[in-house]
Structure 1
Amino acid sequence: MCNEAARRIELGLLREDWGQTGIPLRFPEGPPNMAPLDGFRITEQTTIIRAAADAPAEAELVTRRWSWPGPGGKPVYNYRSDGRRLVEGRCLIPVDSFYEFTAPEEPGAKRKTKWAFRLVGHDWFCIAGLFRRDPAVGEAFTMLTCPPGPDIAPYHSRQVVVLGREQWANWLDPRVPSAELTQPLPAGSLTVERVG
């Protein structure tokens, strides 16, 4: 499961690209710190975009924690979308890549091999997520997963739900059935590169 992603997106670029949705984007907590994150991990904070609670036709960019504690205390950082009707708490997690890890390629190596995945033709994209309030950590989000597409299948048995720009507005609209959007990507949608 995805437990690390990167967000090296300047705020100006995010605002400009988001403008293509036609949905006003506001900053209820002030403009967030968009310092480049080569890798953010579970329990760390990053920006998310969600429908504004007081104006659902608008969106807001806020900074929140990745994962909330599950019933046994383990962090809920990935959440299966399969067969679920997801209406409340939808959010988008802006990233420029996400990482998966496989068994070491070199014999005797101890560290796993790290692979970066990027959406073809885009400087950045969004991962579909859900946010909620947790009594222990406040508002937090999780990334949604689905069965892997052909680009991911050689590396992992699941993939995060990757949404291109044409899907962002639909994901924030609770009237659009989540099952229409939480699908694996077709072959050739993602580039993969070994990193680290």
Structure 2
Amino acid sequence: MCNEVARRIALGQLRDDWSQLKVPLVFPEGLPNLGEQDSIRITDTALTLRAAADGAVAGAMRRWSWPGQGGRPVYNYRSEGRSLGNGATMGRCLIPVDAFFEFTAPPAGAPARARKTKWRFTATPGGPLAFGATPWFCIAAVWRADAGGEAFSLLTGEPGPDVAPYHHRQVMLPPPETWTGWLDGSLPAADVLKPAAAGSLTVEQA
């Protein structure tokens, strides 16, 4: 499952690009200090976007994963069969990224201690997921609030043809035209959370 992403887009560019959607992007907790993050892993904090008052979208830094059964981190959350609406303690969000990573087992005959192969997935320029001058994209996620605060988990589903050769599951990648409908709840989860179309992602060995 996906346990690492990257976000290199600067806050200024993200805000400029977001303005194309004609939806206000606000930061009620203050502007985050977004340096380039080539590796964001479970328990790290990352920028989340979610619905706010008056039709705006609010950005805030939140922890990736909440404690699950036995204390194990819930960093991926199965999307199939869930309505995934917005509530007081759990709701929809988006995680803006430049890339996510998957790993495959060493090839047959490799030494016993051979490391897994790491693959980097980015939005294909001009493709249905790419957004902004320097293409970035969003992963659909859910946030949850409990006694420990708020955290998020990435939503997963069946893989599209770009991911299937590398993993049997895929993080859900809504195209930009669905972002605001996903966040405000006006679009059903089943209409948004679908495998990415062929050619949406460019894959290279990291």
Q: Which residue of 2 aligns with 1:103?
A: 105
Deviation at 1:139, TM superposition (A): 0.5
Which consecutive residues of structure 2, in runs of 5 or more, have no partner in the other structure?
none
Deviation at 1:175, TM superposition (A): 2.5
Alpha-carbon distance in 2 for matches of 1:102, 1:154: 9
Q: Which residue of 1 aligns with 2:124?
A: 120
Does structure 2 conserve the Cα–Cα contact (< 8 Å) formed by 1:64 and 1:140? Answer: yes
Alpha-carbon distance in 1 for matches of 2:20, 2:85: 24
Alpha-carbon distance in 2 for matches of 1:51, 1:43: 23
Does structure 2 conserve the Cα–Cα contact (< 8 Å) formed by 1:151 and 1:187? Answer: yes
Letter in 1 for 2:82: R
Q: Which residue of 1 aligns with 2:12?
A: 12
Deviation at 1:56, TM superposition (A): 4.8
TM-score normalized with structure 1 length: 0.94
Structure-to-structure mapping, 1:39-118, within 5 angstroms? 39-52=39-52, 55-88=53-86, 89-105=91-107, 107-108=110-111, 109-118=113-122
Aligned length: 192
Does structure 2 conserve the Cα–Cα contact (< 8 Å) formed by 1:132 and 1:140? Answer: yes
Does structure 1 conserve the Cα–Cα contact (< 8 Å) formed by 2:174 and 2:194? Answer: no
Superposed CA deviations along residues 15-69 of structure 1, whole A, max 9, x for unmatched, are: 01111111101111111111000010001101011111xx150111100000000
Alpha-carbon distance in 2 for matches of 1:185, 1:5: 17
Task: Pick one of 159, 165, 190 that aligns with 2:201.
Answer: 190
Could you say what secondary structure the match of 1:28 adopts? coil
Compute the RMSD of aligned alpha carbons: 1.2
Does structure 2 conserve the Cα–Cα contact (< 8 Å) formed by 1:21 and 1:168? Answer: no
Could you say what secondary structure the match of 1:162 adopts? coil
Does structure 1 conserve the Cα–Cα contact (< 8 Å) formed by 2:97 and 2:136? Answer: yes
Alpha-carbon distance in 2 for matches of 1:20, 1:49: 16
- Give 4+ residue runs of structure 1 displaced > 6 Å after superposition: none
Alpha-carbon distance in 2 for matches of 1:164, 1:179: 14
Q: Which residue of 2 aligns with 1:132?
A: 144
Q: Does 1:160 align with 2:158?
A: no
Alpha-carbon distance in 2 for matches of 1:56, 1:189: 32
Percentage identity across paired residues of the two chains: 57
Could you say what secondary structure the match of 2:96 adopts? strand
Letter in 2 for 1:149: G
Deviation at 1:134, TM superposition (A): 2.3
Alpha-carbon distance in 2 for matches of 1:41, 1:173: 27
Alpha-carbon distance in 1 for matches of 2:153, 2:21: 23
Which consecutive residues of structure 1, in runs of 5 or more, have no partner in the other structure?
none
